Amino acid sequence: MKTGHFMEVALNEKSPKWLNCKRREHEIYKRDGDIRSEFTRDYNRILHCTAYRRLKHKTQVFFAARNDHICTRIEHVNHVASVSYSIAQHLGLNTELTVAISTGHDLGHAPFGHAGEEKIEKIIKKELGEGFWHERNSLRIVDKLETLPDPGGFERNLNLTYGVRDGIISHCGEVDENYLYPRDDFIKLEEIIERNQYNPYTWEGCVVKIADKIAYLGRDLEDALALKILSEGHIRKLQRMVKEFTGESLAEVNNTVLIHKFIVDLCNNSSPENGIRFSESYLNFIKALKDFSKKNIYGHPRLAIYKNYAELIIYSIFKTLKDLYKGESTLEEIEKYVDSYPLLLRTFKDWIYKYYSPTKTFSRPEKYKNEELYSFESKESYIQSIIDFISGMTDGYAIRIFNELTTF
């Protein structure tokens, strides 16, 4: 198998996109003797932020599974990082960049997976006339919401490089066409307003975009089999699909086998001239697996029940906080109900202190040097703060708050 055939287009110091990709919005402190590249430094900053830690308690597909071996969001992220690394290393691309993008690509997922994302989108469209999609929210989280302490102990924004930020927001959209090339234009990422509006800026970002699909297809099937979501008839159909598209017989539909086959096929068929691509047979195989999963897994009646439950939880939390808005007196209004809803309101008060602009009666603690995002003067700003607050929650935390709201 040919290796390293993307080395001439890899992102490195010789690349015409190098300076743009390592650019940060603000200067970042330097540590004496630091041996890390800018992209490895980004990887470390993502790894240490709280949004990454919360991924272990966020739904991938199957909510609140009692089976410890069912995939959560953090495991999916690690799968994407592994697949991206394998592909990038074989092709001769920048593995440090692919791993950093992969690790941060799903930080913006709401609690309860796509069910939570859909409910938040309904709320924000009604309240603010805007859309909500997790790829854009992931960029918002790394740009605006997540912080780390600097050497002086002051909380500051992550301030990641352009190359990593671009890969995060550009991983969106399904790959239904059988080729993927990076775009040439250096654009303002904040102005991306639609899913799949642009291809990634780098070949490394393209690899992550496809690795995301490779990672979830087989694992969702494996989890569905473990949870008895699929019948014997479904299993036989999957085996026939594998035989039809790959020419091989599998006694068991196994995630590691599928990932291996996808990676090998992708590496064998990709080139700088023809783009990142699968063979025609494997592209059709992926489409068939997606159609199968949509019909038999994502549309399963048990997941429909869970979706209704998730929507009720998210809306209940949103309405409780929205009803407390009293302009510049909002903080005083919140104080009246802290004893009734201590878990929710004490945490939301901390959120206010970290992100709200000061008023005559309110000031931020000195340690917060991150960007001020919200103002009590604007109800729309307050609603945005609630959306941001809820979107960062884990499933379990949202459930605990809901239980608090419904318990006397």
SS (H, E, C) 288-346: HHHHHHHHHHHCCHHHHHHHHHHHHHHHHHHHHHHCCCECECHHHHHHHCCCCCHHHHH
Q: What is the mean pLDDT of residues 244-263?
A: 81
Position 71 pLDDT exceeds 90: no
Q: Considering the chain, what is the average pLDDT of its residues? A: 92
**Residue-level pLDDT at 401:** 98
Q: How confident is the model at residue 176 (pLDDT cuts 50, 70, 90)?
A: low
Q: Identify whether the C-beta of residue 382 lies closer than 8 Å to the C-beta of residue 374.
A: yes
**Residue-level pLDDT at 65:** 62
Q: How confident is the model at residue 141 (pLDDT cuts 50, 70, 90)?
A: very high
Is the dihedral angle over the CA atoms 259, 262, 265, 266 positive or is it negative?
negative
With tokens 């690394």, the residue in question is 85
**Residue-level pLDDT at 56:** 92
Lowest average pLDDT, out of 199-208, 239-248, 365-374, goes to: 239-248
The DSSP bridge partners found for residue 148 are: 156
* Domains of the chain, residue spans: 7-27+34-107+146-298, 301-405
| Tens digits of residue pLDDT in 378-397 | 999 999 999 999 999 999 99
Cα separation, 125 vs 120, whole angstroms = 8
Lowest average pLDDT, out of 173-182, 186-195, 252-261, 263-272, goes to: 173-182
| Tens digits of residue pLDDT in 30-51 | 888 888 899 999 999 999 999 9
**Residue-level pLDDT at 1:** 61
46 vs 258, higher pLDDT: 46
**Residue-level pLDDT at 303:** 86
Lowest average pLDDT, out of 159-173, 193-207, 239-253, goes to: 239-253
Which residue in 267, 195, 208, 253 sits closest to 76, CA to CA?
208
Q: How confident is the model at residue 174 (pLDDT cuts 50, 70, 90)?
A: low
Strand, helix or coil at 157? strand
Q: What is the mean pLDDT of residues 333-357?
A: 97
CATH fold of the domain at 7-27+34-107+146-298: Hypothetical protein af1432 (1.10.3210)
Cα separation, 183 vs 202, whole angstroms = 7
**Residue-level pLDDT at 30:** 85
**Residue-level pLDDT at 227:** 86
Q: What is the mean pLDDT of residues 215-223?
A: 86
- Supply 106's token pair: 């799903």
Q: What is the mean pLDDT of residues 335-344?
A: 97
Lowest average pLDDT, out of 41-45, 68-72, 284-288, goes to: 68-72
**Residue-level pLDDT at 175:** 55
Q: What is the mean pLDDT of residues 359-379?
A: 95
Q: What is the mean pLDDT of residues 328-339?
A: 96
Position 2 pLDDT exceeds 80: no
Using the CB atoms, write b or e for 56-80: b if 16+ within 10 Å.
ebbbbbbbebeeeebbbbbbbbbbb
